[in-house]
Amino acid sequence: MEADEKAVRWDLPDLSCFMLATGVRIGEALAVYWPEVDLDTGLVAVDHNVVRVKGTGLIRKSTKTEYGERTLPLPSWAVEMLRRRFAEAGEPIDGPVFPSEVGGLRDASNTRRVLRQTRGSEGFEWVTSHVFRKTAATILDEAGLAARLIADQLGHSRPSMTQDVYMGRRAINRATADALEDAFTTDPSTDGPA
């Protein structure tokens, strides 16, 4: 996306980086304001979503559940990206981290449309804003983090939903054989469990 002028103009490279770093929904990412980002501690408070209200326009609305309100630690590469954006933002530094061209809230639907237009060749039609969320969940799962911790990161109330929708299945992991190996002692005469 960094090579696509339209993607850069729509600020998609940094927005995609942020979504990969946090696993947040696109509406949540677009609702983050600078006062909710602590660059010293590397934390971001996620407690709003951008929604369009008929007759009013775009607003920040509280997340659907208490589990949607969360403070997330950021990887160092995301903190560096945000530091750069903060330095480039100028005054005032109290609005959206990923603002529209006029400095206000961005529409998630329009941003998704531009992402579809700029994601590259036909081989990348599967890339959507939700893929960044699923990718973050997969990385956390492959790192061996507990389903509850991943659910907390994604803002889910039920870890079972996180497991059913976001965590991979049919993964080949040598740890299963190692656990069974260690569970039994081998009888040298039978080459099996004693």
Assess if residue 141 is contained within a domain: yes
Assess if residue 180 is contained within a domain: no
Assess if residue 49 is contained within a domain: yes
Q: Which residue has the higher pLDDT, 183 or 164?
A: 183
pLDDT-derived band of residue 123, with 50, 70 and 90 as boundaries?
A: low
Model confidence over 57-67: pLDDT tens digits? 998 998 877 77
Q: Supply 167's token pair.
A: 């965590």
Q: Specify the number of domains making up the chain.
A: 1
Q: What is the mean pLDDT of the chain?
A: 82
46: containing domain: 5-165
Rounded Cα distance between 53 and 107, Å, is: 11
Does 185 score more than 60 pLDDT?
A: no
Q: Which residue has the higher pLDDT, 39 or 140?
A: 39
Mean pLDDT of 147-165: 77
CATH of the domain at 44: 1.10.443.10
Q: What does pTM read for this prediction?
A: 0.78
Assess if residue 193 is contained within a domain: no
Rounded Cα distance between 135 and 158, Å, is: 19
96 with 106: CB under 8 angstroms?
yes
Mean pLDDT of 105-127: 78
